[in-house]
């Protein structure tokens, strides 16, 4: 593929970044992203909230402020009641309202399968962009949400999840990454991305691709949905988890004796997952504490950035 180079392009499609960023003026750049997917929970209203939180997340991952959005909708006109779509869009609108984002339009196509998401436009100061690259040796890695949404969504589809499991995973997926994003400049975050379909390892791999750093991930410190342990043991493993492992396992070293659960959860495809951030070591504990006090209760230090093993992830 051939990409046009442009002096004002700050982030494009070349480094697997979360959003496109284009400089308009020395003090202003445009942030653009689009994302949409099929339902992962049964409640249409909750699906709408989650889809919007997920779509906004790519803007937040780069430190941007989302301003406006357009609905992207695929809907089976002939086989699904229109009231379901209304609930999806109502959930989406409520999440946009909570984010301070204005809906300015949208587009619907007839499709056999319901899908929903947003095209988002935001802004950022060109010198305050937080890329997915730029982590430095010695940085600590902070993850802001529990892992396990893919495993629990699989259990929901198999009608195995308890109402309390569904409530917990829905609340996490519908939570905006806004708070963590807005705190990033205060704690000198060097690099960040959001954890979605490629799982923790896949998105970590994008952060270190082509760099002279490696990552250590400490499985004992990973925030996880407790229910995902039980469901993983019962075989509720999404297909995407196996695909992620097949794709990324060649850059991962696993210490002997790591329980199988962790070898699943690190590859679990997430929906509307948390931010993964590389933070100076002397700021990490204070940042996690601030996140906990600011309504991001599951945030945790999960590992560190090393000069050893460049391009590789050590799972210990
Ligand atoms: Co992303
Ligand atoms: Co995305």
The CATH number for 9-128, chosen from 3.90.226.10, 3.30.365.10, 3.30.1330.10, 1.10.600.10, is 3.30.1330.10
- DSSP bridge partners of 35: 118
Predicted confidence at residue 5, as pLDDT, reads: 76
Q: How far is the CA of 112 from the centre of ligand 1 (A)?
A: 26
> Can 9-128 and 140-315 be said to share one CATH topology?
no
Mean pLDDT (the chain) is 96
In Å, how far are 171, 175, 208, 247 from 116, measured between CA atoms?
Answer: 18, 17, 31, 27
Note residues around ion ligand 1 (Cβ under 5 angstroms).
18, 58, 194
Q: How far is the CA of 275 from the centre of ligand 1 (A)?
A: 9
Q: How far is the CA of 217 from the centre of ligand 2 (A)?
A: 23
Tally of helices (H runs) and strands (E runs) in the chain:
10, 13
Q: How far is the CA of 163 from the centre of ligand 1 (A)?
A: 29
For the chain, what are the domain ranges? 9-128, 140-315
pTM here is: 0.95
Q: How far is the CA of 43 from the centre of ligand 2 (A)?
A: 22
Q: How far is the CA of 257 from the centre of ligand 1 (A)?
A: 31
Coil, strand or helix at 289: helix
d(CA 305, CA 314): 10
Predicted confidence at residue 2, as pLDDT, reads: 56
Predicted confidence at residue 16, as pLDDT, reads: 83
Classify domain 140-315 by CATH number: 3.90.650.10
Under 8 Å CB-to-CB from 250, ≥6 apart: which residues?
Answer: none
Cβ pair 177, 194 in contact under 8 A: yes
Beta strand pairing call for 313-315 and 252-254 = parallel
Predicted confidence at residue 85, as pLDDT, reads: 97
Q: How far is the CA of 271 from the centre of ligand 1 (A)?
A: 10
Predicted confidence at residue 3, as pLDDT, reads: 60
Low-confidence ranges of the chain (pLDDT < 50): 1
Structure token digits, residue 174: 């519908």
List helix spans (H) across 100-198.
Answer: 149-157, 163-174, 178-183
Q: How far is the CA of 271 from the centre of ligand 2 (A)?
A: 10
């Amino acid at each position: 593929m051939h990409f046009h180079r442009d002096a004002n392009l700050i982030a494009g499609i070349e480094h697997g970044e979360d959003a496109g960023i284009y400089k308009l003026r020395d003090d202003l750049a445009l942030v653009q992203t689009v994302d949409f997917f099929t339902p992962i929970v049964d409640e249409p209203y909750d699906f709408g909230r989650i889809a919007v939180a997920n779509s906004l997340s790519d803007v937040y991952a780069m430190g941007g402020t989302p301003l406006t959005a357009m609905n992207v909708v695929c809907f089976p006109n002939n086989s699904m009641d229109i009231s379901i779509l209304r609930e999806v869009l109502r959930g989406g609108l409520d999440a946009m309202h909570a984010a301070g984002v204005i809906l300015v339009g949208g587009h619907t196509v007839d499709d056999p399968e319901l899908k929903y998401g947003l095209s988002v436009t935001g802004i950022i100061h060109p010198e305050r962009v937080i890329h997915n690259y730029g982590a430095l040796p010695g940085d600590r890695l902070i993850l802001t949400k529990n892992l396990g949404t893919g495993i629990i969504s699989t259990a929901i589809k198999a009608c195995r999840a308890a109402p309390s499991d569904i409530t917990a995973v829905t609340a996490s997926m519908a939570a905006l990454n806004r708070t963590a994003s807005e705190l990033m400049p205060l704690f000198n975050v060097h690099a960040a991305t959001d954890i979605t379909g490629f799982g923790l390892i896949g998105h970590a791999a994008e952060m270190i691709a082509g760099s002279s750093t490696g990552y250590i991930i400490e499985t004992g410190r990973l925030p996880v949905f407790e229910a995902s342990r039980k469901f993983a043991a019962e075989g509720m493993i999404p297909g995407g988890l196996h695909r992620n492992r097949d794709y990324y396992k060649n850059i991962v070293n696993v210490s002997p004796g790591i329980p199988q659960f962790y070898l699943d959860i690190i590859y679990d495809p997430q929906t509307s997952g948390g931010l993964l951030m590389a933070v100076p070591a002397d700021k990490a504990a204070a940042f996690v504490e601030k996140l906990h006090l600011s309504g991001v209760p599951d945030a945790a230090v999960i590992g560190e950035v090393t000069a050893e093993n460049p391009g590789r992830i050590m799972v210990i």
